[in-house]
Chain A
Amino acid sequence: MGELLLRMEGISKAFPGVQALSNVDFELNKGEVHALLGENGAGKSTLMKVLTGIHSKDSGSILYQGKEIDVPDTRTAQNLGISIIHQELNLAPDLTVAQNIFIGREPKKMFDLFLDEKKLNDRAKNLFETLNIKLNPKDKVGNLSVAMQQMVEIAKALSFNSKILIMDEPTAALTDTEIDSLFTMIRKLRSDGVGIIYISHRMEELKRITDRVTVMRDGTYIGTVNTQEATIDQIISMMVGRQIYQNQRPEIKNRNSEKVLEVKNLNRGNVIKNVSFDLHKGEILGFAGLMGAGRTEVARAIFGADMRDSGEIIINGKPARIKSPTDAVQHGIGYLSEDRKQYGVMLEMDVKANITIATMKDYLKLGSLNNPKINDQSSAMVKSLRIKTPSINQLVKNLSGGNQQKVVIAKWLTRDSDILIFDEPTRGIDIGAKDEIYNLLNELAAQGKSIIMISSELPEVLRMSHRVIVMCEGRITGELINDENISQESIMTLATQRIG
């Protein structure tokens, strides 16, 4: 094993309301590929943002090449030789490959008045030759495939003579051949002594490319193992932990009731691949999977928010033509987006307006709004959903996350939606309020509403779902009945099951 390159010790970082990192350690050697693993929200990205100067740490120390360093901004990190390739590629699509690589460091000529485009392109060309990458410096980045854009990012990172290269989910958008090329590149860098921090959810990649694995969970450091000595199962159990899930399992009553929704062979580009499933009356159907597995995309396709390439949607036994959210709403489908603030509520409007906005037509009297009726309806909803608000005239932005979510639920209930799709219903909601939302979901199911619940929190999936569908890379990789045989581990195994 190579010599120590980086040691992060006792790193803590808090954001308003969240302790994102508490006392995290991490180590990296020269010529090592070190995987950083954890579920969504485990703190991997935050840790890397601390290392690259995007976030400042609250406490802890960073030792780099034997010296303690301070990374106040991204420039400093770059100059130190610490580069990150973000999951969302950070390139300017309208500039060329060479222009992107040397942005901020453009060679100039004639008393620095003009850009030296020739030198710029030559430098890029030399860089590509040393790295053995086939890229044309003059191509526009926006015209390149994702894999090629990633190569541009790697080249850019290495043009700073990086000693540490952080790759965040580098294979997420790549095909298998492209992954092979990427791994060839990584092996070359490793033999050149570069330390690589590799963030990925794909278990089978770890064995192929990494030397060690460090696991994080809920903002804390769990442990580090040598990849060759550990089993995938071991790593998964480190990731999910064993606490929390001692809660009661849901009572499963409605498994054999009538089917209200049948989805058959749904396809959309690369994101949804041949998805079929049924939803029964009064059922809570959990959708588990990692970020980018295609769960939200399935929900949006059913809801008509995105066009689907093919696939049939059958509601109550009859084929439904859903081409837009308006169609979906008319068929009794409600969709509660994961991004509540952007798609769910109007923060600057009051509770009653938010609750009744989807059914305005019902409150018109001679063309003007019938306020007593709006007030009655809203008050009734506030009462039945136990929305904590001083009055129905309160602005929604003044409510807590949990109560905002209830306002969204109320909105869909006023439309008599029978099929409710909840996308991450408890994201950004504190623990106490989560219970309230769970009780509400259970009550709705008991009343005969059928619920699809997309959730990235496994304890939540296990606590709420009658059945669980697991997705990975646009495919359904498993359907599980929520009984004694199910566990966070079994779901995680399915969620990381790539089909080669």
Chain B
Amino acid sequence: METPSTQIIIEDKEKKIRFKSNALQQFLAFASLIVMVIFFSLASPNFFQFDNIIGILLSTSVIGILALGATFIIITSGIDLSVGTVMTLTSVMTGIFITSMGLPVIVGVIGGILTGAVAGLISGLAIAKMNIPPFIATLAMMMIAKGLALVISGAAPIYFTASPEFTKIAMGNIIPGLKIPNAVLIFFVMAIIAGIILNKTIIGRYTFALGSNEEATRLSGVNVNKWKIIIYVLAGVFTGIAGLVMAARLNSAQPALGQGYELEAIAAVVIGGTSLAGGKGTILGTVIGAMIMSVLTNGLRIMSVPQEWQTVVVGIVILFAVYTDVLRNKKAK
């Protein structure tokens, strides 16, 4: 019997090899984290203690939450230099709402988060509608936020001493009996939410699509400008939450603190395997990246390595992390 063969058969040999190299990279960051933990545990008996581990997680939380938002931006092949100072601005705004204006804590919390969202909206509009490169648009936002934080606060810290429940946002223990500060829990909950948004919602889909091939996405009829703005607003919300956690931890809004955090957040994202070229990245990778940075700093401190040298080591780690990514991309081509 003669059947018209309309089967389309095309071989695809390279697929398996590449898949392996991708999985390897996912594994690599996690493995380095484990190796570091083992190394520092052996090097110092003080490292693998409950209090120290909690301390590491606590110090990861603010940078980590910032890095979650930055992950979205970087996957679109954008960059956000403003998250550090916008975070400061949000904590100052929260301070104004709660301490200066005497509004309820919940209003301050929402106001802080909204401040972050508005900053993201402005950056997003500048990038999508005015065609300003992300680097410049967010550099401008960085300076605007820094200046505003100083102006609004009168360049002096705002304390939350009148609202003792505010500091509990970060330092309280919502799970009774378990001595894990809320800041750490917020970080993990935000990470899960970020993971869901990135992998299960339309925002996440277009985050990858924009970074992977913006033109193809546009030609498919997707309103790329709208989605870009939404993604910057989303990152702004994460920044706002980081600002709250920061303020609650310090029990004050410190208008001079925050600049430089954006670079640490970007470093965490990059160490976690997200490519600055866009299209690739995971939330888990970012969480691991943020942890690698704080484990490294904490471990070196426990081993009495001077702070200046800690920074040098972190710099070297960033170089290596990105170099493995470069090597991987080269092989894939």
Question: Which residues of chain A have a CB within 8 Å of any CB of chain B?
Answer: 54, 73-75, 78, 90-95, 99, 103-104, 106, 108, 113-115, 117, 132-134, 139, 142-145, 147-148, 151, 178, 181, 184-185, 188
Contacts and interface: CB of A to CB of B under 8 A. Distances in A.
A101 B209 CA distance: 12
B7 A93 contact: no
A104 B220 CA distance: 7
Interface of B: 5-12, 14-15, 18-19, 200-202, 204-205, 208-209, 211-213, 215-222, 279-280, 332
Contacts of B205: 95, 99, 103, 106, 115
Given A78-B221, A133-B8, A148-B12, A91 B213 contact: yes
A147 B10 contact: yes
B11 A106 contact: no
Nearest to B18: A143
B8 A184 contact: yes
A95 B212 contact: yes
A74 B14 contact: no
Most A CB contacts (10 A, CB to CB) among B8, B201, B280 go to B8
A188 B5 CA distance: 10
Nearest to A139: B15
Given A94-B208, A132-B7, A185-B8, A104 B15 contact: no
A403 B327 CA distance: 42
B217 A103 contact: yes
B220 A103 contact: yes
B12 A104 contact: no
A188 B4 CA distance: 10
B208 A92 contact: yes
A179 to B, nearest CB: 11
Given A92-B213, A93-B279, A94-B280, 15 more contacts: A74-B219, A74-B221, A91-B213, A93-B212, A94-B279, A95-B209, A103-B216, A103-B220, A104-B220, A106-B205, A108-B202, A115-B202, A115-B205, A184-B8, A185-B6
Nearest to A114: B200
Most A CB contacts (10 A, CB to CB) among B18, B200, B205 go to B205
A94 B12 CA distance: 17
A129 to B, nearest CB: 11
7 contacts: A92-B213, A99-B205, A106-B202, A117-B200, A134-B10, A151-B8, A188-B6
Contacts of B212: 92-95
A8 B245 CA distance: 62
10 A-B pairs closest in CB distance:
A92-B212, A75-B221, A94-B279, A90-B216, A94-B212, A92-B213, A104-B222, A103-B220, A132-B6, A181-B8
Contacts of A104: 217, 220-222
Given A91-B216, A99-B205, A115 B200 contact: yes
A188 B6 CA distance: 8
A151 B6 CA distance: 13
Given A106-B205, A115-B201, A90 B213 contact: yes
A445 B200 CA distance: 64
A150 to B, nearest CB: 9
Contacts of A114: 200-201
A145 B209 contact: no
Contact of A143 (B19, B211, B218, B221): B19
Nearest to B211: A94
A144 B12 contact: yes
Contacts of B12: 143-145, 148
A144 B7 CA distance: 18
A143 B14 contact: yes
Contact of B279 (A92, A139, A181): A92
A364 to B, nearest CB: 34
Given A132-B6, A132-B7, A151-B10, A92 B221 contact: no
A128 B87 CA distance: 48
Nearest to A77: B221
Contacts of B217: 92, 103-104
B34 to A, nearest CB: 27
Nearest to B216: A90
Given A91-B216, A115-B200, A134 B221 contact: no
Contacts of A151: 8, 10
Contact of B208 (A95, A108, A178): A95
Contacts of A94: 208, 211-212, 279-280
Nearest to B75: A94
A135 to B, nearest CB: 8
A134 B8 contact: yes
Most A CB contacts (10 A, CB to CB) among B5, B15, B18, B216 go to B216
Contacts of B221: 73-75, 78, 104
Nearest to B213: A92
Contacts of A99: 205, 209
Contacts of B204: 115
A99 B279 CA distance: 13
A213 B228 CA distance: 43
A148 B8 CA distance: 9
A87 to B, nearest CB: 13
Contact of A181 (B9, B200, B213, B219): B9
Nearest to B11: A145
A185 B96 CA distance: 66
A104 B208 CA distance: 13
A246 B228 CA distance: 55
Contacts of B14: 143, 145
Nearest to B214: A92
A93 to B, nearest CB: 6
A197 to B, nearest CB: 17
A181 B5 CA distance: 10
B20 to A, nearest CB: 11
Contacts of B220: 74, 90, 103-104
A132 B222 CA distance: 28
Contacts of A145: 10-12, 14
Nearest to A113: B201
Contacts of A117: 200
Contacts of B211: 94
Given A75-B221, A106-B202, A93 B213 contact: yes
A178 B202 contact: no
Given A132-B6, A143-B18, A90 B219 contact: yes
Nearest to A116: B200
Contact of A134 (B7, B213, B218): B7
Contacts of B213: 90-93
